[in-house]
Structure 1
């Protein structure tokens, strides 16, 4: 029984990056022996066990073969005679196909250390083509390591996989899992760029692919290209460490511009409604969590109004806050403002611009939430108002509070 550290932990140690999770590989033993040692079984498709003390995962060395299209189409073979080199051969990229033995010696049969030094993503073997999730994983790693390039042979292989329809067989939950992780990396735009370069973006997010090459007015968008703007907004979100719902909203906020009629270009009249519809379409396709899906629709629908709010009357600002459900969901309203600020700064040469709209609407919302509505209602009842009239009295009090600020 030999135990090795494998995968990302080895890669990150060699890069001098923090190591959070360690994957352990066990060679030369059987499930029965692991159970006898007190390990707890957790694997469904292949033998994986939890250490009795540390509760870290230990997987038996295994080989695999393709049996059907898609992510689940594999048969696994785990046995005491499977070697560490055979197990590493089934992994996706050379930089993830290294191991450390108990003495700290590096096992690197496929040149992972050399590719780390050269900053290259390279597939271990042609078996890469058997699992379409690996395209998403590589793109996600690109967002984490934006200075890495894709080896030409790996790029060609991914393009062939897309052409063969492998990406179309991916299940929604797996796609969202990888996209969400990539969105939370240091440079999420790189994930989109890599998916686009191999043709996968057009299959997974055609609504986003449609933005590239579409112009918009240079006076508001010096970068001009709608797709480039979307990527710049996404990276602005990463710069301020925005949460996942804000980043997904940034990705979807302008999708409607991909459907603008050519005769209207470079303007995008009423793109907000189209963007909200397409954001909902994307969320339903990939079963996006509700908090992300709802914020994406809200930002798509309201971001232009937020941008214009400095010129709004108190009544118009009140309608915007109420329409956005800010009084009941102030945390989501704040996320919308953060996404809008990233949108305003995701423009060439305007990355450091001021965005006073956020402070204005934060002040308005705080003022409204601080109102003593019980006192307003009590006063209305004292004046013998009923039903809708009480509601109008509350609205009048809210409007008066905002008017007092201007």
Structure 2
């Protein structure tokens, strides 16, 4: 029985990055031997075990054979006769197919790697040096999730390029219909992780290049070539602008829900009728409708889709909020459910700031709308509603009339807060 550390932990140390989670492979063992040593079996589709002390995952070396289309269409063979090189050959990228014998890890568990100790049959170290994302073997084509993984790695390692032969292979997979067989859970998992990388635009650029974006997110794919009305640069169409917005969200360290809202807030521009171009009149409601279908398709978490819906419907009004009077501002706050969910409203404002600054020449521009609306919300929240409701009831008011009295008080508070200081 021999144990090896493989994959991301080695890759990241070689790149000088903080280490990833440990991924262990065991060669020459049976499930029964692993259990006898105290390992806890947890694998559903193939033998994976938890270490009795560290709780890290140890997988038996395995091979995979394609048996049906899609992510789950595999026959897995895990047995003592499977070699380390056979296990590495089924991995996605050469930079993730480097192994280190466990015996070469010092007692402090630090990975002070000596290249002479590394097992690298597919030249992953060379590809790290050359900044290449290259598939290991033709077995890559058997798992369509790998298309998304390569795109995600391109977003993480912004200075890496996809090897030409790997891009050809990805296009062939899309043309063969492999991307159509992806399951929602894996698509959302990879999209969410890609959105949180350092340069998320690269994920979607790469998916577009290989044709997968048109299959998975056609609502996003058709934004390229659509005029962006407020752009002073004709080369910045709606798709290009969208990528700038995503990268601005990463630059501002926005959370996942904000980044997803940035991705989908302008979907309606891809279906703008020709007679209302280039102003995209009414695109907000079209965006919200397309968003609902997209979220249903990929089972986007409720909190993420709810923020995206607010941003899709209201981003135009938020951008124009400096032109609104106090009453209109209060109505905007109510539509955004800001009184009940102020944290979500702040995230909506951050998404709008990313949208505004995701334009050439405006990357460092201020976004006063965010400060103004947060001040308005604070002023409206400062209104004590219980005394107003009690007084209205004593005057014979009920139901909507009480709500109107509270709204008037909030408008007055917001109006006072928005007045320029003398």
- State the TM-score bracket (shorter-chain normalisation): over 0.9
Corresponding residue for residue 53 of structure 2: 53
Match of 1:151 in 2: 163
What is the 5 A alignment of 1:163-242?
163-219=175-231, 224-242=236-254
**TM superposition shift of 1:336:** 0.5
Cross-structure match for 2:368: 356
- In the other structure, the counterpart of 1:300 is 312
Cα distance in structure 1, aligned partners of 2:232 and 2:354: 14
What is the number of residues matched between the two proteins? 406
Alpha-carbon distance, 1:219 to partner: 4.9
RMSD: 1.2
Looking at structure 2, the residues matched to 280 and 377 of structure 1 have their Cα atoms a distance apart, in angstroms, of: 36
Structure 2 matches for 1:12-27, cutoff 5 A? 12-27=12-27
Partner deviation per Cα, 1:92-125 (whole Å, 9 max, x = no partner): 1101111011225100000100001000011111
Contact in 2 for aligned 1:272/1:300 (Cα 8 Å): yes
Change in CA separation of 1:165 and 1:219 when aligned onto 2, cut-off 3 Å: closer
1:34-73 residue CA offsets vs partner (Å, 9 max, x unmatched): 1000000000111100000000000011111001100000
Contact persistence 2:66–2:74 (CA under 8 A): yes
Rounded to whole Å, the distance in 2 between the matches of 1:266 and 1:190 is 27
How far the C-alpha of 1:222 sits from its partner, in A, is 6.5
**Could you say what secondary structure the match of 1:49 adopts?**
strand
Q: Does 2:56 match 1:74?
A: no
Q: Whole-Å Cα distance in 2 between the matches of residues 362 and 19 of structure 1?
A: 39
Alignment equivalent of 1:250, drawn from 241, 262, 266? 262
1:271 aligns with 2:307: no
Counterpart contact for 1:217–1:267, Cα < 8 Å: yes
Q: Work out the CA distance in 1 between the residues paired with 2:234 and 2:330.
A: 32
Q: Structure 1 residues 266, 387: closer, same or farther in 2, change over 3 A?
A: closer
Cα displacement (A) at 1:80: 1.1
Match in the other structure for 2:303: 291
* 2:146 alignment partner in structure 1: 134
Residues 253-306 of structure 1 deviation map (CA, whole Å, 9 limit, x = unaligned) = 111111112343322111111111111121111110011111111111100000
TM-superposition CA deviations, 1:150-187 (whole Å, max 9, x none): 11111111000000000000011110000000000000
Cα separation, 2, equivalents of 1:91 and 1:111: 13
Matched residues in 2 for 1:20 and 1:301: separation?
Answer: 39
In the alignment, the residues of structure 2 paired with residue 108 and residue 206 of structure 1 have an alpha-carbon distance, to the nearest angstrom, of: 39
TM-score of the aligned structures, taking structure 2 as reference length: 0.94
- The 3-state SS of whatever aligns with 1:76 is strand
Deviation at 1:397, TM superposition (A): 1.0
SS of 2:366's equivalent? coil
Structure 1, unmatched stretches of 5+, are none
Q: TM-score when scaled to structure 1?
A: 0.98
Q: Is the Cα–Cα contact under 8 Å of residues 200 and 247 in structure 2 kept in the other structure?
A: yes
Other-structure match for 1:95: 95
Partner residue of 1:396? 408
Counterparts of 1:181 and 1:279, CA distance in 2 = 19
| Of 315, 321, 333, the match for 2:345 | 333
